[in-house]
């Protein structure tokens, strides 16, 4: 069948049951495995092994670079990336003649579910994708229902994400907003139109959220309690500072199926912090 990826201006023929799929996005790789189509993964990114057991899939690049030698050997039927910072990589692979499809960077939990369904359709297993999406919806509802406080009394949550040495917070167009909501929190920045924002300490001090949710990568560890102390955020007790990492089920920037595990973990941490 003919596939058109408009954002990359790319058209290619794709078998209805592609057998050699390369996913350079960890969330997509996890989705393919979780829906039961992991045997179709021929290549993955170097970050995907944080979330899946690679099996026979080989590393074909990372989030921003592809290993063209490996790709040539794999001769993939389909390469999956996302929009945003991966678009440059996608255009490079299109110029090299590869069958690349870019799915949108999701703005919400529902956007993640839609990507899962579209990935399953591209992989020829649409029913499996629909079933995975249903399971994730059910899990999200169960987690939300377990929140021990009323929605109107949800604790304010300030997320601070350190991508290496580059800190950001979130706006209303980030799926991280929904992870926090599913967990039972009220994310600071919901009214902002951006997905990610520069840090605004004055806004945090004005809101005085009950939870400081920090994310960092192992290569660039952050001491979030020390940061709060240096900023004079005296209303925060040490127990109100929750630290997210790249570990599966504790990673708030990951958009794969394990985000519901992350939401459950975050809810547990918030309950401990506020009791």
CATH of the domain at 40: 3.40.50.1980
Q: Is residue 18 located within the same domain as residue 126?
A: yes
Cα-to-chain-centroid distance, residue 77 = 24
Strand partners, 43: 22, 58
* 261 half-sphere exposure, CB direction, 13 A CA radius: 12
Would residue 70 count as lying in a domain?
Answer: yes
Q: Is residue 164 located within the same domain as residue 106?
A: no
Q: Is residue 127 located within the same domain as residue 165?
A: no
pLDDT at 205: 97
H and E: helices and strands count for the chain = 9, 13
Give the residue ranges of the chain where pLDDT is below 50.
none
Would residue 144 count as lying in a domain?
Answer: no
pLDDT at 117: 99
Q: Is residue 127 located within the same domain as residue 160?
A: no
Token look-up 């590869």 returns 98
Q: Is residue 73 located within the same domain as residue 161?
A: no
Would residue 142 count as lying in a domain?
Answer: no
Token pair for 169: 């917070």
CB 29 within 8 A of CB 255: no
pTM of the model: 0.95
Would residue 143 count as lying in a domain?
Answer: no
- Close Cβ partners of 91 (under 8 Å, ≥ 6 residues apart): 8
pLDDT at 135: 99
Give the number of other Cβ atoms within 10 Å of residue 92's Cβ.
14
Domain boundary among 82, 106, 137: 137
pLDDT at 105: 95
Give the number of other Cβ atoms within 10 Å of residue 10's Cβ.
19
Token pair for 49: 């092994």
Q: Is residue 13 located within the same domain as residue 75?
A: yes
Q: Is residue 42 located within the same domain as residue 125?
A: yes
What residues make up the domain containing 58?
A: 2-137
Token pair for 210: 């009950």
CB under 8 A, 24+ apart: contacts of 97-100 = 98/71, 99/3, 99/10, 99/12, 99/13, 99/14, 100/5, 100/8, 100/10
In the chain, how many domains are there? 2
Would residue 147 count as lying in a domain?
Answer: no
Q: Is residue 163 located within the same domain as residue 252?
A: yes
Token pair for 90: 């996608």
Q: Is residue 96 located within the same domain as residue 191?
A: no
pLDDT at 275: 82
Domain boundary among 137, 166, 187: 137
């Amino acid at each position: 069948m003919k596939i058109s990826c408009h954002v990359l201006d790319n058209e290619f023929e794709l078998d209805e049951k592609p057998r050699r799929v390369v996913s350079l996005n960890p969330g997509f790789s996890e989705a393919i495995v979780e829906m039961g189509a992991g045997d179709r993964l021929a290549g993955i990114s170097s970050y995907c092994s944080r979330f899946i057991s690679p099996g026979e899939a080989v590393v074909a690049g990372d989030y921003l670079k592809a290993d063209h030698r490996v790709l040539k050997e794999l001769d993939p039927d389909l390469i999956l990336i996302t929009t945003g910072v991966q678009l440059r990589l996608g255009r490079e692979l299109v110029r090299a003649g590869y069958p690349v499809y870019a799915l949108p960077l999701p703005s919400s939990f529902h956007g993640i579910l839609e990507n899962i369904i579209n990935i399953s359709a591209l992989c020829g297993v649409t029913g499996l994708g629909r079933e995975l999406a249903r399971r994730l919806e059910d899990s999200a509802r169960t987690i939300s229902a377990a929140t021990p406080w009323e929605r109107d009394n949800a604790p304010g949550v300030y997320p601070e994400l350190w991508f290496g040495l580059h800190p950001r917070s979130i706006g209303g167009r980030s799926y991280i907003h929904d992870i926090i909501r599913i967990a039972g929190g009220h994310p600071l920045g919901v009214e902002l139109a951006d997905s990610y924002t520069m840090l605004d300490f004055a806004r945090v001090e004005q809101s005085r959220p009950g939870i400081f949710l920090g994310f960092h990568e192992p290569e660039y560890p952050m001491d979030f309690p020390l940061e709060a102390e240096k900023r004079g955020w005296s209303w925060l007790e040490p127990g109100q500072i929750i630290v997210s990492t790249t570990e599966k089920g504790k990673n708030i920037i990951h958009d794969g199926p394990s985000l519901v595990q992350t939401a459950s973990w975050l809810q547990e941490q918030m309950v401990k912090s506020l009791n």
